Amino acid sequence: MKSLIIFISALLSTVCGVYIHTAKFKSIIGGTPAEQGKFPYLADIGIIENGVTTWCGGGVLASVQWVLTSSSCLSQIWVGDKKVVIFLGSTNRASNEFGTLRFEISPNSTNIIFNTGSADANDELVLIQLPNRINWTKYIQPVSLPGTRDCYGLLFKEKALAIGWSNDTSSVLNYLELTTMKSTKCVEEYDPERRDIIAPKNICAKLEMKSDQTCFAGVGAPLVTQEYKVLMGLTSTLSLNNCEKPGTPVIFLRITEYLDWIKTIADV
Ligand SMILES: *[C@@H]1O[C@H](CO)[C@@H](O)[C@H](O)[C@H]1NC(C)=O
Ligand SMILES: *[C@@H]1O[C@H](CO)[C@@H](O)[C@H](O)[C@H]1NC(C)=O
Ligand SMILES: *[C@@H]1O[C@H](CO)[C@@H](O)[C@H](O)[C@H]1NC(C)=O
């Protein structure tokens, strides 16, 4: 029985190992956490209004011209006179690192696309079109998207990393180790009184270090598999409810549920 389970999980890893993108450059491994080039698909996203930048969180470079993030970051985007600012290849907001790109986007109906078609949904996904196609470098590359629909529904107990920025002006890119878990277990540990809170569009993970908190990352922070760095989720706003309770499951929006939409819009 045990060998059968091992065999099945090996098979699933192979299926999940079919990626859409293959990185052209190897990431820089080792050194300090979130060294430049370690997570080259990370995007840092802010909103500029009246000359003031408010950091809203992270996102990922999904294709040559599209960034994927959480809608909560952009839910008020049509109100007032706002611009979206996106940094690629950066790990530190306070310094001007070599090789980073900065884009300022005036939002309109073709460059900001909400997956629900409505900007009201505060816990869904958004794709942002960059004004130019990106040339891949050591520091800027697209994330690997999963190849099949239901891979991560089966692969609970997958080792993963959550990577992100806080909303702090001086923030540096950080990452944490997590392990994905079954939704049934997640509900029990998150809030057994509200069983409907974890939807099929969610994927849960548990922090390896109980003392760690994921609110560090704000919304839109990606969850990737530890080994191959395949995108599994982006932090849901549900995660932010439990900041004060370290050790509770962290909730993400499950990428496989949005894959068709991402592929269609972002031309992956
Ligand atoms: C939206 O902005 C982009 C530039 O980011 C521009 O190319 C496009 O034409 C604009 N679309 C509309 C409908 O204004
Ligand atoms: C990518 O490279 C081309 C050719 O060198 C250049 O014209 C273009 O501006 C570059 N794109 C970006 C976003 O830097
Ligand atoms: C960052 O977000 C937290 C939680 O929403 C908020 O309490 C805090 O004021 C924010 N900090 C900044 C600098 O915006």
The answer to which of 3-17, 40-54, 159-173 has the lowest mean pLDDT is 3-17
Q: Is the CB of 111 under 6 A from ligand 1?
A: yes
Q: What tens digit of pLDDT does each residue of 214-268 get?
A: 565 567 889 999 888 899 999 888 876 666 566 788 889 999 899 999 999 998 8
Output the residue whose Cα is nearest ligand 3's atom 7: 167
135 alpha carbon, closest ligand? 2
Question: Which of 61-70, 112-121, 247-256 reaches the highest mean pLDDT?
Answer: 61-70
To 5 degrees, how large is the angle CA 250–CA 255–CA 261?
145
Q: What tens digit of pLDDT does each residue of 185-196 get?
A: 999 988 888 888
Give the whole-number percent of the chain exceeding pLDDT 70: 77
Give the whole-number percent of the chain exceeding pLDDT 90: 41
User: Does pLDDT of 28 surpass 80?
Assistant: no
Ligand 2, from 61, 101, 104, 132: best to mutate by most atoms within 8 Å of Cβ?
Answer: 132
Cβ contacts of residue 158 below 8 Å, gap of 6+? 152, 179, 180, 225, 226, 232
Output the residue whose Cα is nearest ligand 2's atom 9: 132
Other CB atoms closer than 10 Å to residue 111's CB: what's the count?
A: 16
Task: For residues 203 and 182, give the distance between their C-alpha atoms in angstroms, rounded to a whole number.
Answer: 8
53 alpha carbon, closest ligand? 3
Q: Which domains does the chain have, with CATH numbers?
A: 40-142+259-266 (2.40.10.10)
Output the residue whose Cα is nearest ligand 2's atom 5: 135
Q: Atom of ligand 3 at shortest distance to CA of 55?
A: 14
Q: What's the mean pLDDT in 55-71?
A: 93
Confidence of residue 20 (pLDDT cuts 50, 70, 90): very low
Confidence of residue 33 (pLDDT cuts 50, 70, 90): low
User: Does pLDDT of 25 surpass 60?
Assistant: no
123 in Cβ contact with 62 (< 8 Å): no
Q: Atom of ligand 3 at shortest distance to CA of 169?
A: 13
Q: Atom of ligand 1 at shortest distance to CA of 131?
A: 5
Task: For residues 157 and 176, give the distance between their C-alpha atoms in angstroms, rounded to a whole number.
Answer: 15
Task: Report how far ligand 3's centroid is from the alpha carbon of 188 (Å).
Answer: 29
pTM: 0.85
Q: Is the CB of 132 under 6 A from ligand 2?
A: yes
